[in-house]
Amino acid sequence: MAKASGTNTTVSVADRQLALSNLSKILYPETGTTKGEVIDYYSRIAPVLIPHLAGRPLSLKRYPNGVAGAGFFAKNVPNGAPPWVRTERLPAPGSTMNRDEIDYLVLPENDGDALATVVWLANLAALELHVPQWQVGPRGGVRGTDLLVFDLDPGAPATVVECAAVAVQLREVLDADGLTAVAKTSGSKGMQVYAAIKPVDPGRTSDYAKAVAQRLERADPDRVTSVMRKTLRPGKIFIDWSQNNTAKTTIAPYSLRARPAPTVSAPLHWDEVAACERPEELVFTFGDVLARVADDGDLFAELLTAERPALPRV
């Protein structure tokens, strides 16, 4: 039940009272998308979003003045967090602020407080939600890496069409190694390919991902590079294996992106990846994604499986 007061609206989310502000504020000027619509999207997508966030320290990209204004990354839990928001003080590898530890926001398992936290973050204009490939336990213990990710970044004039072709090649390699790959758009210009694995030391995932990227580069050097140097990337797909580093985060599935339109990092069917011929075929706004989930459910559910294969040795 909502109750309006001035520019604020008080709502009850899973028995938590939240004061939502400036719901008519435009966050995406090109499409006229308001903060109220952003909050509505995150509240409706939460059943499939939360399982992919739960237990993973969140890094936020906030745009209080909309995507046309300045945005900023926030790893520390935002000021004014309600007492029921879960936080964990964890090591901060690679911190740009030279901090040894950071008070991260960590969603609990799929329960009411997780939903209320997602709505609270949307009200802060935390448009982008980024997570690492590792989790923390219920008492804050850092666990091993349980996701493998490859970030496919096209160098112009290459586009997501070329990313899709490389993703299909990558899927074949992972399948041969006993790993089940899933793919999603980045919500921007590229794609990501993931596989669930038994928790391992993060150094092993980086080594494996680098070896796979180099293998694909050798097989298709005109289209693929495993080297980050930008002078080598025009017209090619850079397979960014470094996203497996403990200090790195990747845009979460179902997260909005701070693009001119409210596009989403959208899980994909492999059939549509293989069939992609035009970039616009793999661009999905929040309305598209809500409809896809209603029809197909969570296309990233494979990452939530308890039966995880072991990461191959390199």
| pLDDT 10s digits, 68-90 | 999 999 999 999 999 999 999 99
pLDDT value for 98? 52
Q: Cα(265)–Cα(258) distance, rounded to whole angstroms?
A: 11
- Contacting residues for 306 by C-beta, under 8 A, at least 6 apart: none
pLDDT of res. 1: 39
Query: What does residue 116 show for φ and ψ, rounded to 5 degrees?
Result: -60, -35
Q: What is the pLDDT of residue 138?
A: 85
pTM given for the model? 0.94
Low-confidence residues in the chain, pLDDT < 70? 1-7, 93-99, 110
Note the pLDDT of residue 124: 97
Q: Which domains does the chain have, with CATH numbers?
A: 2-131 (3.90.920.10), 144-304 (3.30.70.3300)
Tens-digit pLDDT profile for residues 97-124? 456 889 999 998 768 899 999 999 999 9
- Distances from the Cα of 158 to the Cα of 30, 161, 163, angstroms: 25, 8, 8
Q: What's 309's DSSP letter? A: P
* Cα 1 from Cα 17, distance rounded (Å): 10
The structure tokens listed for 219 are 């097989």
Q: What is the pLDDT of residue 93?
A: 61
Strand positions, DSSP E, the chain: 2-5, 8-13, 16-21, 26-28, 33-34, 59-62, 72-74, 87-91, 101-105, 126-131, 134-136, 142-154, 181-185, 191-200, 224-225, 237-240, 250-251
* pLDDT of amino acid 92: 76
pLDDT at res. 5: 39
DSSP 8-state secondary structure symbol assigned to residue 78:
P
